[in-house]
Amino acid sequence: METTLKTKKEITEEADVFMGSPVKTERGIDSSEPIPEALSIKIEKGNDGNDNQSEASINPVDKITSLKTLGPFIASKDNTRNTRYLSDVPEICLRESCMLGVDEAGRGPVLGPMVYGIAYCPLNSKETLTDLGCADSKELTEEKREVIFDNINTQHYANSCIGWAVEIISPNVISNNMLGRKKCSLNEISMNAAIDLIRAALEAGVNIAEVYVDTVGPPEKYQEKLQKIFPQLQITVAKKADSTFPIVSAASICAKVTRDHSLKVWKFPEGLKLTSKDFGSGYPGDPITRKFLSENVNYIFGFPRIVRFSWSTAQNALSETACVVEFDEPDSEKPKYAGPKLTTFFQSTTKTGEVQREQCRLLKERFLDSVVDF
């Protein structure tokens, strides 16, 4: 049997690849990295029909201006950290009162990022949303969503009055926050992302008057929370808001298209040569995703960082295949004896004036008494 010996440096490098470093912020989720200049990436079809990314970097891209530039922009980012992108604010949105919609994509999958999106336009521009065909992104085909997204960015009748933004929440950040010592639930991560995007739009100068949000949890509590943070805005939180309010539908489309392309251009820092066709949609019920999870488990370090370790699907797969590790937790039990409390020496006197104190443990264990009379 052939044996391969690894140097200490090689082992360290392997560990660094598989172990994601925790990312913390005040809110519990990773702060968005600044948006550096991105590079466009040429996509070629290989002999196997899969989309393969060449290493060639051609045209510098510092913002998303169409569907074509979305993938290259995302591919230039560190996918172990969160990324936020805000489109240019239409001039009309600085002057006229606007409505803003909030929705997410990728909340349920075990693989890939969760993306929160917002879209905004003047209150009197509802007809533009209708002309674009904005509807619940889940009810539209992938091709139709991409056409609408491209039109929002390239057609003058749309980009002159509609702005948008997305927060790409890395699966690595989701895992670190949900499994950290200080737990941060997925609902909390979601709400913080929505709050940060609304705040970012306000800071960019968007004249927001009304906000419509697809709910996370009970809509009444969520709406009350947002209203306290943004008392100057008229906020509506509702179930299935993406199928009720066109502006939320637009946000939903931006979020969904961004997530889809995040998976298409995903780079594995672990060195895996796989495309999105090899790991599927990312949903636990997808047989391709299940196959990916079963075939890509490292015995020591677990899954690649595209996997949300906090999902039960991933945890079950790890329990069957990976090494069992036990961590020593600090003993929470009180010691059997920690000595007399200081307050025992200051007990109040009895009615007769005597001070009743418990006998010293040293004397008690040896059955000795204090002798005061000789």
Residue 187 has pLDDT above 90, yes or no: yes
Query: What is the pLDDT averaged over residues 355-363?
Result: 68
Query: What is the pLDDT averaged over residues 359-371?
Result: 70
Distance CA 370, CA 353 (A): 20
Which pLDDT score, from 0 to 100, does residue 41 have? 40
Answer yes or no: is 118 within a domain.
yes
Residue 198 has pLDDT above 90, yes or no: yes
Contact, 141 vs 257, CB < 8 A?
no
Answer yes or no: is 131 within a domain.
yes
Please, which pLDDT band fits residue 49 given cuts at 50, 70 and 90? very low
Answer yes or no: is 136 within a domain.
yes
Taking only the tens place, the pLDDT of each residue in 293-344 is 988 888 888 899 999 999 988 888 888 888 887 776 665 555 555 566 666 5
In the chain, the number of structural domains is: 1
Taking only the tens place, the pLDDT of each residue in 125-151 is 999 999 999 976 678 999 999 999 999
Answer yes or no: is 243 within a domain.
yes
Which pLDDT score, from 0 to 100, does residue 364 have? 75
Residue 85 has pLDDT above 90, yes or no: yes
Q: pLDDT above 90 covers what percent of the chain?
A: 56
Residue 202 has pLDDT above 50, yes or no: yes
Domain enclosing residue 134, as ranges: 67-265
Answer yes or no: is 162 within a domain.
yes
The mean pLDDT value of the chain amounts to 81
Lowest mean pLDDT across 75-89, 100-114, 200-214, 358-372: 358-372
Burial class, 330, CB count within 10 angstroms (exposed 0-12 / middle 13-18 / buried 19+): exposed
Taking only the tens place, the pLDDT of each residue in 54-67 is 433 445 578 999 99
Answer yes or no: is 163 within a domain.
yes
Phi and psi based region of residue 106 (left: phi greater than 0; alpha: psi -120 to 50; beta: remaining):
left
Which residues belong to the annotated binding site for a divalent metal cation? 103-104, 214
> Does the CA dihedral 7-8-9-15 come out positive or negative?
positive
Kindly report whether the global pTM for this prediction surpasses the value 0.75: no
Contact, 86 vs 254, CB < 8 A?
no
Lowest mean pLDDT across 63-67, 69-73, 208-212, 267-271: 267-271
Answer yes or no: is 183 within a domain.
yes
Answer yes or no: is 129 within a domain.
yes
Closest by Cα among 254, 53, 246 to 146: 254
Which residues belong to the annotated binding site? 103-104, 214
CATH number (domain holding residue 124): 3.30.420.10
Instruction: Label each residue of 288-299 as H, E or C.
Output: HHHHHHHHCCEC
Closest by Cα among 242, 233, 99 to 223: 233
